[in-house]
Structure 1
């Protein structure tokens, strides 16, 4: 065996001995098992070691790490796809832009994976390759990553998350296989972030719980809403609250109209019974049941104060009383404004004029009798019937049959001729005809 071959074998032997020429060939994972919450970021701590130099037949040379890589579920970390590769190796699409190498090419090989997915569960191994073509090492022990889902646990436990107002309740965001204490968490109610500075990040405490705490809760890894679990419903049971009465139609209530009172209340479970009451001083009368109470053809006797009682199995609550004030029709008429009275007067006058006009038209259509002269249209009729009395006792009678004046002369034929002639001097207007009739 030549000198050169002897030196080569000696160098190889020295490399296999621990502590010789600067270090061991090794990869360490601490810890070897890590649990992470889906959606969070996880760090896989890693370190490695190798000798500082190696001896060849040409001399002593320093080792230099040229390539580092991480692989998933690959025993020798040799393949076509990697979690991370510092050289020209292909990166798996599942880890592209998510895997981050925090180590170097000296002794640190820590890896960080962001936005952990359920599919990331498994064993991860680190491999490094040196400047010597045969000196390539894979840490086969690897580190095992377990991915867990968040869930909410309520204490004390209740079926379907139902609690009663006034109880003390704690919600804890946890996992089945690992603790998220080192993970920053956010809480949401009905999809909106809520603060929880009064408690540790993974708990919400309600002491006591209020009906306003009712809602859907979820927890998620901070800055990653996609990691939230399905919503947990905190079902707070409580007696009716905020009970009120509304009146329809609104405004003044007139005698003879129909009025409906409606009761509204907030309760869980919903209101089971509604009862209506009427009060007048200290007296109280039960008037009916149901969410709505209708009074048809309302009268002044229905005036008073009304309220409703809402009830479920957890209790009852009364509304504030509302006043029902029924206005009589006569009172409504007295309250009309002046313009309304003018309108009513005009309407009444119009009806009167139309009625008189119809009467006149009917009279004009009637035929004159055999002893009557035709009526003179469009003139008023004035008739003076003179009895055979002294002229100073004669009476003149005027009959107004229409707004338009018509005049006619009526002659009565006595059995004996009149003792005095008719005095026509009474006719003093061309538009007016006076007739004297003597018996």
Structure 2
């Protein structure tokens, strides 16, 4: 609740009292106000009057004799009559009807004194001034923040906490303030004090205050140190990804707590069974095996409580998987080499340019072919056209190399003449 809200509540109660009594009445909820030099201040006020009456004048004045209303200068006058120029531009009448609260800005040392409100109506008794009025004190002492808690010396999660912006001599509760958390304006309120019901760890921080009209001059900071049990506890696994048998794995526990976590405890679960595995913020498994597979979680603890993380799954892959991968890779490489060799052999066995087939098998016959060759002479040793000599008797010969074909009893049987044998004529000359 801001300053305006607090003033409104007090004024409402005062108005209700006056209405029930049917009187012409003025009420000041407070008799004394402390404010900061250079700031603004609200002087709260209410009034009531009979229902059949009409208000003709509302006016504020300072000091003087509350019973001597002539020849005074008014701070505020509803008709704008006889105003004190020292307050020109610094005064605001809040209203509305039955609310006579006055706001004074840019407070100065000369503003110290007693303030009175006077109401005039159109019937008798036709005027009323509440005496004594409200005393305003101005201070230029530096601000400071004080803190109170419903708990013990420590502020625990769930306590009610009140921060109050004060000076050494007074608490300027009718001044509008800006509150700062960690150096930044925060909380949409100008009230003093600043209250936290059921404080949470999110309220942790350094707080200061300043007059809303002069935020450049702040109080020293005070720390709202909220103590709480661990929360947001979690586990991380390193390295991430597949865990190979024989490698090392480290589990790390993280948690948010104030004061910091004092003890970390590690647990492994498998179904309904739970085993305590170790302590410390980090838990390392060296030479991990398939027997280490399971669900792991950590417990974080400080003096205000404990909190467990969600379990993480650790699955160990056997070394057989790696061997299988290497075996498959080797097989693929071997088959690739075999395929290349086969292609090379096939290309070498293709027919040559003459269309003849070369057979290197043991059962094939090796054949040698000879061509007819004419031997010529030149007459007189001179070169000239070649003249064929008369043919003499020609002898023909066939040379045929042939493998023997085995028969059933192990003996060999010569093959019959092959009609493909080619004969060549050789001519001898004298």
Greater RCO, 1 or 2 (C-alpha within 8 Å, sep 6+):
2
